[in-house]
Structure 1
Amino acid sequence: MDQGQVSDSQPANNPASSSDASTGGASADQSPRLIIDGPSSAAWNMALDQAILDSVSAGGGPVLRFYEWDVPTLSLGYFQSLADRSGHAASHSIPVVRRSTGGGAIVHHHELTYSLTLPITDRAATSVQRIYDRVHSAIRKTMLEFGVALERAGQRPAPPTPPFLCFQRRAEEDLLCAGYKVGGSAQRRTARAVLQHGSILLNVSQFAPELPGITDLSGRHMKRSEIYEALCKHLPPQQGPPTEWIKSSPFEMELKQADNWVEKRFTEPGWLKRRP
């Protein structure tokens, strides 16, 4: 993902609009929650993130979620054309889903996927843009604990036609290892919350053989659980007084809302083909 941003300006024709706080079901619990999920389907992964965005938009506290994919999957950025995947032969055999966040396509295989959902008061504020830097700074500190130095991509000329795959694109806050992009993020913003999707590429996948991961480039092998623990330490729920993430499960209302999003959006052919 490469800082592609999507904003919800008005209620959508969906089971619940993420810009309508009344539909998400606000919770009195505003504690910062850490959710660590095992492998799930592409539709469920995207639907639960959307349900959490609804919940935080309705007054909930910050949520950091780590999750895996039950099979290798290609996720398209919100603005990408489905037809563009025809140009990437290596990923033709795997399922495809469209994210609600922007950016380029991701092959979710040997990588770490996170979502960070935070309450905001102004989606146009520079503080929301700075979340990219805050998260990527935490990832850099985390990788240093494993002896891996990552660098920011910095300002680079944008190509006239962005590459299909996220990890072949470059944005200023993207993370590089030995010159290859290994970390990127993209956002979806509502009036009261922001969802940031991110991916950390760990190993090369046969479905994207042109993209080496951190282990391929550094020789360092890291367990997912170790990365989760270190990243939580370097990425507190808020800036200011120290606070800690509280390990949790999704709220019942979020699970019910995710079921709705699976049916009405993330398994609906019209959503996938909205940009044919």
Structure 2
Amino acid sequence: MSDSSVRVIIDTTPHSGQWNMACDETLLISACDNNLCTFRWYLWEEATLSLGYFQKVEPSFFKNDRWATLPKVKRLSGGGAILHHHEITYSCALPATHPLAENPAKLYQKIHEQIIATLKKEGIQLHLRGEGKVTPHDPFLCFQRGDANDVIFEKHKVLGSAQRRRRGALLQHGSLLLSKSKWAPEIPGILDLVSLGFDSHKLLEKLAQATVPILGEPDFEQPVTEKEKNCINHLIESRYRHLNWSSKKQKT
């Protein structure tokens, strides 16, 4: 791969929350150690609740009947909890040498604007919130919070992203809600808000084709390596099987 190329991973095989989050961190490690830029689009195999890195997990949380039976995983990024179910998710890992790694706010803007443009071609009119949503306290669920970078349909947030920096490299991942989950019926997705239908796998591929060039020249021929697969499995066992893990001992 050249210095200007971007490895593209279009993962149409759904994975567990533990695997998805371990994979995202592995891509960040590859950006740090190997100067590798990667853009990944992926799906979830079952409804999963992810918690932001800085969210506290109170004992009463596990007694909540609403989410008691759901798999739970802690993210590397901050923000509120996300109920991942009927959605398309992306992550991109940029090495410290990438121009956009030095401008995190611009990375949010460029990716979100390109997703908006892609969905406009599908007949769906979205836009950036443009200003933060003021609330007296932060709701537990991310999609009930508001940020200027959110992508919304009318007043409803349908895309939100979060970041994590490590040794100058940058990880950004985000969720595009397609339809509401029975586990969080108060949060609608795109298909609940517009009278259109589309194939999620085809949309995933269209989004990948549209967004990857933001980072560089797309390279679709470089899959996750065996070394990275080993790293994913190690991170699952050492971190992502647990909700109380911390990376404070690492350089960030």
Question: When the two structures are superposed, what TM-score results if normalisation uses the length of structure 2?
Answer: 0.87
The one-letter code sitting in structure 2 at the alignment partner of 1:56 is: A
2:130 maps to what in 1?
Answer: 154
Q: Structure 1, unaligned stretches of length 5 or more?
A: 1-27
Range moving further from structure 2, 118-127 or 35-44: 118-127
2:142 maps to what in 1?
Answer: 166
Distance 1:140 1:85, change over 3 A: farther
1:259 maps to what in 2?
Answer: 233
1:45-56 paired onto structure 2 within 5 Å: 45-56=20-31
Check if 1:219 corresponds to 2:180. no
Does structure 1 retain, via aligned residues, the 8 Å contact 2:35–2:96?
A: no
1:1-276 paired onto structure 2 within 5 Å: 31-37=5-11, 38-83=13-58, 85=61, 89-121=65-97, 127-238=103-214, 243-268=217-242, 270-271=244-245
CA distance in 1, matches of 2:32, 2:124: 36
Distance 1:179 1:96, change over 3 A: same
The one-letter code sitting in structure 1 at the alignment partner of 2:18 is: A
CA distance in 1, matches of 2:150, 2:33: 30
Percent sequence identity is 38
Does structure 2 retain, via aligned residues, the 8 Å contact 1:142–1:227?
A: no
The one-letter code sitting in structure 2 at the alignment partner of 1:51 is: T
Shift of 1:269: 5.0
Deviations 1:22-43 (A, max 9, x none): xxxxxx7754111122111211
Q: What's the RMSD between the two structures over aligned residues?
A: 2.5
Shift of 1:245: 4.0
Q: Structure 2, unaligned stretches of length 5 or more?
A: none
What number of residue pairs does the alignment pair up? Answer: 244
Range moving further from structure 2, 98-107 or 66-75: 66-75
CA distance in 2, matches of 1:263, 1:29: 33
Distance 1:29 1:47, change over 3 A: farther
Shift of 1:154: 1.6
Shift of 1:129: 2.0
Question: When the two structures are superposed, what TM-score results if normalisation uses the length of structure 1?
Answer: 0.80
Deviations 1:104-146 (A, max 9, x none): 1111111111111112249997622211001100110111011
CA distance in 1, matches of 2:204, 2:243: 34
Distance 1:122 1:145, change over 3 A: closer
